[in-house]
C-alpha cells in the first residue's frame, strides 16, 4: 500500500518558524493560556487581514459563539445561516438559544444566495444577525449581501474558517461584516493544531470577547464573576504555532492554487465535470478543489476509486436543513445546495502533494471515464 494522500493535512513550515516560538514559550515557562505569543498572534493576524483587533480563541466555533453573543443574539432570536456549510457554523446559534433559518446557495458562488436572503428578510424581518460563509475558500457575493444586511440594519458575521488568505475585490474575506472568524483546525490552510480567531474593527467588542473567553473574571483581588464566562482563550504554545504558520500563509495559498489549476487542466474536459466557480471579483485561497458531476460517473465512484488507492476525498457538505438535528428549522431557497451535495466531491488538496501524487490522482479519476 502506497503512502496515504490526505484531503488536507497539517503542513508545518520548512524553516521551523513554529518551533522557534514554541521554544520561546517553554524557555519563559509561558505554557498556560496567555503570554506574548497570544498577544502577538492577535496583532499579526489582525494586521495581515486588515482588521483593527483580534481575539485568539480555542476554535473557530468558539469565535462564532462569542461573535453571536457580542452581536446581542439571545433567547428566541432569529439568525440567518447558509445551509451549505459545516455544522460548526450553525451550532453556536443553538448555544445562544437562538433560532437558525437556513439560506440556500446559488450556483454562481456556491455561497449564500442574495435572492434567497432577500426572501428570508421578507419572511423574518425581525432577524438579529446574519452569518455568511466563504465555502471552500470561495468568497460569497459580499457587495450584494452587505447591501441587503445594511438595509435591514442587521449584524453580519463572516465565517471565513475556510478562506483565510482569500480576497473579495482585493479585500480579505472575514473583514466586511461586523465580525469575522478564522479557524486553525488541523485541516485548514494554516493550523495551530486547533484554534480560532475573531476579528473586528470594533476594538471595544473584541476586548469584551477576551473578557468572556477568560471566564468573565472581574478585576478584583478575589475571584469574582458578574457575567457568564467561557474557557475559550488560546494557549501561548498554540499561538506560537500560529505565528509560525502565518509566515507561510501566502506559500500555502500559492500551492492550493497550483493544485486547483492542475486538476482543472487535467479534468475539466471530462464529460459532466464542472469545477467550483471562480468569479472575476474573487481571489480564493482554493482550500479544497471541488467539482460537480453530471453524467455517468458519480461522486461515489470517484471517492471509492480513490479510497481503494489510499487517497482521501469527501462529499460536498450535506446541507444543514437536511441534517437530522436541524431539519425542524426553516429553509429558504430553491434547493441549489441539495444538488451541490448530491453531485459534488472535494478532491485531495493537501499542500504537501507532489506532482507525481497529483498525476496519480488524476489518472485514477480519468480511468473511470475509460471503463
Contact between 357 and 349 under an 8 Å Cβ cutoff? The reply is no
By residue range, what is the domain housing residue 298? 249-368
pTM score of the predicted model: 0.97
* 184 vs 158: CA distance, rounded Å: 15
**pLDDT value of residue 187:** 97
**pLDDT value of residue 220:** 87
Residue ranges of the chain with per-residue pLDDT less than 70: 1
pLDDT digit string (tens) for 268-298?
A: 999 999 999 999 999 999 999 999 999 999 9
Nearest-CA neighbor of 40 among 30, 287, 171?
30
Contact between 179 and 198 under an 8 Å Cβ cutoff? The reply is yes
Long-range residue pairs from 20-29, CB within 8 A, at least 24 positions apart, any chain: 20/244, 21/239, 21/240, 21/241, 21/243, 21/244, 22/237, 22/240, 22/241, 24/240, 25/236, 25/237, 25/240, 26/237
Answer with the one of 231, 246, 261 that is the final residue of a domain.
246
For residues 269 and 185, membership in a common domain is answered with no
Cβ contacts of residue 75 below 8 Å, gap of 6+?
Answer: 96, 97, 98
Q: Quick one: CA dihedral 236, 241, 244, 246, positive or negative?
A: negative
**pLDDT value of residue 31:** 87
pLDDT digit string (tens) for 106-147?
A: 999 999 999 999 999 999 999 999 999 999 999 999 999 999
Answer with the one of 246, 263, 288 that is the final residue of a domain.
246
Q: What is the CATH number of the domain that holds 275?
A: 3.90.1150.10
* 243 vs 295: CA distance, rounded Å: 45
Alpha helices in the chain (DSSP H): 17-28, 36-49, 60-70, 87-95, 114-123, 142-151, 203-213, 236-246, 249-267, 299-308, 336-343, 355-368
**pLDDT value of residue 1:** 61
pLDDT digit string (tens) for 328-339?
A: 999 999 999 999
**pLDDT value of residue 228:** 96
**pLDDT value of residue 221:** 87
The three cell numbers of residue 39 are: 498577544
Answer with the one of 246, 270, 301 that is the final residue of a domain.
246
For residues 86 and 229, membership in a common domain is answered with yes
* Residues composing the chain: 371
For residues 164 and 225, membership in a common domain is answered with yes
For residues 205 and 261, membership in a common domain is answered with no
The three cell numbers of residue 360 are: 496519480
For residues 154 and 29, membership in a common domain is answered with yes
In a domain? residue 146: yes
Contact between 69 and 59 under an 8 Å Cβ cutoff? The reply is no
CB contact burial 226-258 (16+ within 10 A = b; e otherwise): eeeebebbbbbbbbbbbbbbbebbeebbebbbe
For residues 176 and 264, membership in a common domain is answered with no
**pLDDT value of residue 309:** 97
Number of structural domains the chain divides into: 2
Strand 53-57's sheet: what is its strand order? 53-57, 196-200, 179-183, 155-159, 129-133, 78-82, 99-103, 331-332
Amino acid at each position: 500500500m502506497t503512502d496515504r494522500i490526505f484531503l488536507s493535512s497539517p503542513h508545518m513550515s520548512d524553516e521551523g518558524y513554529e518551533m522557534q516560538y514554541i521554544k520561546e514559550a517553554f524557555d519563559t515557562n509561558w505554557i498556560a493560556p496567555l503570554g506574548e505569543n497570544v498577544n502577538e498572534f492577535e496583532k499579526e493576524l489582525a494586521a495581515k487581514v486588515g482588521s483593527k483587533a483580534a481575539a485568539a480563541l480555542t476554535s473557530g466555533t468558539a469565535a462564532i459563539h462569542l461573535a453571536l453573543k457580542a452581536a446581542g443574539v439571545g433567547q428566541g432570536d432569529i439568525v440567518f445561516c447558509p445551509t451549505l456549510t459545516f455544522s460548526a457554523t450553525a451550532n453556536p446559534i443553538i448555544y445562544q438559544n437562538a433560532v437558525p433559518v437556513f439560506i440556500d446557495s446559488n450556483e454562481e458562488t456556491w455561497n449564500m444566495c442574495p435572492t434567497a436572503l432577500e426572501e428570508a428578510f421578507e419572511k423574518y424581518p425581525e432577524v438579529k444577525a446574519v452569518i455568511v460563509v466563504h465555502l471552500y475558500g470561495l468568497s460569497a457575493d459580499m457587495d450584494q449581501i452587505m447591501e441587503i444586511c445594511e438595509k435591514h440594519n442587521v449584524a453580519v458575521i463572516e465565517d471565513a474558517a475556510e478562506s483565510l488568505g482569500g480576497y473579495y475585490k482585493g479585500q480579505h474575506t472575514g473583514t466586511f461584516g461586523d465580525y469575522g472568524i478564522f479557524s486553525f483546525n488541523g485541516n485548514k490552510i494554516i493550523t495551530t493544531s486547533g484554534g480560532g480567531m475573531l476579528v473586528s474593527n470594533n476594538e471595544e467588542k473584541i476586548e469584551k470577547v477576551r473578557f468572556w473567553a477568560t471566564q468573565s473574571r472581574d478585576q478584583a483581588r478575589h475571584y469574582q464573576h458578574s457575567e457568564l464566562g467561557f474557557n475559550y482563550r488560546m494557549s501561548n504554545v498554540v499561538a506560537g504555532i500560529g505565528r509560525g504558520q502565518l509566515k507561510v500563509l501566502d506559500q500555502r495559498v500559492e500551492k492550493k492554487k497550483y493544485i486547483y489549476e492542475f486538476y482543472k487542466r487535467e479534468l475539466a474536459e471530462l464529460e459532466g465535470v464542472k469545477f467550483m466557480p471562480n468569479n472575476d471579483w474573487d481571489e480564493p485561497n482554493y482550500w479544497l478543489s471541488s467539482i460537480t458531476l453530471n453524467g455517468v460517473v458519480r461522486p461515489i465512484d470517484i471517492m471509492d476509486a480513490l479510497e481503494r488507492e489510499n487517497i482521501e476525498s469527501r462529499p460536498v457538505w450535506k446541507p444543514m436543513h437536511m441534517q437530522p438535528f436541524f431539519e425542524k428549522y426553516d429553509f429558504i431557497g430553491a434547493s441549489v445546495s441539495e444538488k451541490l451535495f448530491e453531485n459534488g466531491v472535494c478532491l485531495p488538496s493537501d499542500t504537501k502533494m507532489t506532482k507525481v501524487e497529483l498525476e496519480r490522482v488524476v489518472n485514477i479519476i480519468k480511468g473511470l471515464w475509460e471503463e
